[in-house]
Amino acid sequence: MDKSKIKKALGPIVDPSLEKTFEETDAVRYIGIDEDSEKPSVNLIVGLGKDDDQTKAKVRRAIAKVIKLDLGFHGLKIDFELLKKKESILDDDSKIKYIGIASGKGGVGKSTVAANLAIALTRLGKKVGIIDADIYGSSIPTIMDVPIAIPKADKDEKIIPFNKLGVQLISTEFFLKKDQPLMWRGPMLGKMLNHFFYDVAWDKELEYILIDLPPGTGDVAMDIQKLIPECDMLIVTTPHESASHVAVKAGFAAKELKHEILGVIENMSFLNHAGEQLQIFGEGGGDTVAKRLKTEVIQRIPIGQPQGEYHSIYDMKEEIGVIYLGLANKLLKMV
Ligand SMILES: Nc1ncnc2c1ncn2[C@@H]1O[C@H](COP(=O)(O)OP(=O)(O)OP(=O)(O)O)[C@@H](O)[C@H]1O
Ligand SMILES: [Mg+2]
């Protein structure tokens, strides 16, 4: 079933604390559907004006009627949260640009690209943050050598992001239990992303937020793409056909959700060896993706391990470090 159908069906329910309908307050924050099991169920995050027991019970009954009786689902799980006055980086007058890093397949270097690009932008004097939203296996903290720990809160109870090499960082990994099954990670993520946009004490002068997205076009990846604000997408692929094939799908999905595609990054493009470029992971993947998405390969990044202090961050003295700086420069001209 279509999520918009569920949202519409819930629209007339009244939040008694505000005496307004769900449609008016945009109360339904997240909808997750599990239709595969024998007992199809729905997970909701609902924002209310007050979250006292009486209000919640009233609303819970009204929702259950719609979801179970009218729409025929067996299971229903509702998380409530307080609707807040809009005061976040998502406000219309916010000048932050979002750049989503997406891929079809995992392991193509999405997180490495996100981290190195963020650092390159910082080296060019920009104020940059990263949201690591890859709940399948977030790796930004590891890549950036930031310990996994629950971030502290400031006096206004906003989450203080970690800071590494001038880049502000917040990760789902700081909040999820490691062995938590994906089916719980999904709905929790919706809640978390709301926090990331509303409750993080980002630097007031932040100019760019890079979002490391989960790979693929599965439910979770799509849910996130719907939750994030309009953003420009970079699609990462390797030169291999199997990677490019799914990258095209991920690109089309992003387009469908009205995100702008900035271009394609072909990672692990070739190996520099004795003055030659060896195409050990195949060739043409980047071009295929770009052509299908009617965009361009904006950067090819060769195979190479960082030689400096950090195991995944390339130093400015290295060829790949300079390539990332070039990519950052190109992007600044594009967005
Ligand atoms: N250009 C490169 N040359 C050599 N190794 C690379 C390059 N880019 C990334 N890697 C390595 O490839 C592995 C996968 O990279 P990374 O974790 O960034 O990919 P990912 O797409 O984010 O993967 P996942 O789907 O697991 O999140 C890492 O070990 C990383 O160090
Ligand atoms: Mg990753």
Give the pLDDT confidence of 189-225 residue by residue, as tens digits.
Answer: 777 777 787 788 998 899 999 999 888 877 667 777 7
d(CA 286, CA 263): 10
- Bridge partners, 199 (sequence order): none
Ligand closest to Cα of 236 equals 1
Kindly report the pTM of this predicted structure.
0.77
Domain count within the chain = 2
- Bridge partners, 45 (sequence order): 30, 79
Q: Is the CB of 111 under 6 A from ligand 1?
A: yes
pLDDT at 237 over 80: yes
Average pLDDT over residues 278-286: 93
Same domain, 196 and 61: no
**Least confident among 99-108, 189-198, 279-288:** 189-198
- pLDDT in the model for residue 183: 65
Give the residue from 54, 82, 110 where a domain finishes: 82
Same domain, 14 and 131: no
Helix axes 241-256, 285-292, angle to 10 degrees: 20
Average pLDDT over residues 135-161: 86
DSSP-based helix, strand, coil % in the chain, nearest 5: 35, 25, 40
Question: CA Rg, the chain, in Å?
Answer: 21
In a domain, 179, yes or no: yes
- The model's pLDDT over 68-96, given as tens digits with 9 standing for 90+, comes to 999 999 999 999 988 865 455 555 556 78
Ligand 1 centroid, distance to 301 Cα (angstroms)? 12
Same domain, 68 and 119: no
Q: What pLDDT band is residue 182 in, cutting at 50, 70 and 90?
A: low
Q: How many CA atoms lie within 13 A of 320 on its CB side?
A: 24
- pLDDT in the model for residue 283: 92
In a domain, 206, yes or no: yes
In a domain, 89, yes or no: no
Q: pLDDT above 70 covers what percent of the chain? A: 93
d(CA 10, CA 55): 16
Which of 110, 112, 268 maximizes ligand 1 atoms within 8 Å of its Cβ, making it the mutation to test the pocket?
Answer: 112
- pLDDT in the model for residue 90: 59
pLDDT at 37 over 90: no
Residue 23's alpha-carbon distances to 18, 36, 198, in angstroms, are 12, 28, 21
d(CA 246, CA 221): 13
Same domain, 149 and 256: yes
Q: What pLDDT band is residue 330 in, cutting at 50, 70 and 90?
A: very high
Same domain, 67 and 103: no
Same domain, 11 and 156: no
Q: Is the CB of 106 under 6 A from ligand 1?
A: yes
H or E stretch at 332: helix 319-334
pLDDT at 243 over 80: yes
Strands (E), 201-304: 208-212, 232-237, 260-267, 271-273, 276-278, 297-301
Ligand 1 centroid, distance to 168 Cα (angstroms)? 21
Q: Is the CB of 216 under 6 A from ligand 1?
A: no
d(CA 40, CA 199): 33
Structure tokens at 214: 């989960």
Q: Which atom of ligand 1 is nearest to the CA of 212?
A: 22
Domain that holds residue 9: 3-82
Average pLDDT over residues 108-112: 95
In a domain, 87, yes or no: no
In a domain, 90, yes or no: no
In a domain, 92, yes or no: no
Average pLDDT over residues 25-36: 87
Highest mean pLDDT among 32-36, 131-135, 248-252, 311-315: 311-315
Buried b (16+ CB within 10 A) or exposed e, 98-134: bbbbbbbbeebbbbbbbbbbbbbbbbeebbbbbbbbb
Q: Which residues contact 122 (CB under 8 A, 6 or more apart)?
A: 128, 165, 166, 167
* Closest among 169, 242, 236, 239 to 208, alpha carbons compared: 169
Same domain, 256 and 187: yes
Q: Which atom of ligand 1 is nearest to the CA of 311?
A: 31
- The model's pLDDT over 304-329, given as tens digits with 9 standing for 90+, comes to 999 988 889 999 899 999 999 999 99
Same domain, 32 and 119: no
In a domain, 243, yes or no: yes
Ligand 2 centroid, distance to 333 Cα (angstroms)? 26
Alpha helices in 218-276 (DSSP H): 219-227, 241-256
Neighbours of 302 (CB within 10 A): 16
Name the residue at shortest CA distance from atom 12 of ligand 1. 109
Phi, psi angles (nearest 5°) of residue 31: -130, 120
d(CA 86, CA 198): 8
Give the residue from 37, 52, 82 where a domain finishes: 82
Average pLDDT over residues 62-66: 96
Same domain, 289 and 324: yes
Please, are residues 301 and 267 in contact by the beta-carbon 8 Å criterion?
Answer: yes
Please, are residues 46 and 29 in contact by the beta-carbon 8 Å criterion?
Answer: yes
Q: What pLDDT band is residue 161 in, cutting at 50, 70 and 90?
A: very high
Contacts of residues 60-64 at CB distance under 8 Å and 24 or more positions apart, as own/partner, are: 62/13, 62/14, 63/10, 63/13
Give the residue from 26, 53, 82 where a domain finishes: 82
Name the residue at shortest CA distance from atom 9 of ligand 1. 109
Same domain, 180 and 241: yes
Same domain, 116 and 12: no
Q: Is the CB of 295 under 6 A from ligand 1?
A: no
pLDDT at 121 over 90: yes
Q: Which atom of ligand 1 is nearest to the CA of 107?
A: 23
More confident residue, 192 or 24: 24
Residue 251 maps to which CATH number?
3.40.50.300
Q: pLDDT above 90 covers what percent of the chain? A: 55
More confident residue, 185 or 3: 3
Same domain, 276 and 316: yes
In a domain, 88, yes or no: no
- pLDDT in the model for residue 311: 87
- pLDDT in the model for residue 257: 78
Residue 325's alpha-carbon distances to 29, 165, 197, 205, 316, in angstroms, are 38, 15, 27, 21, 8
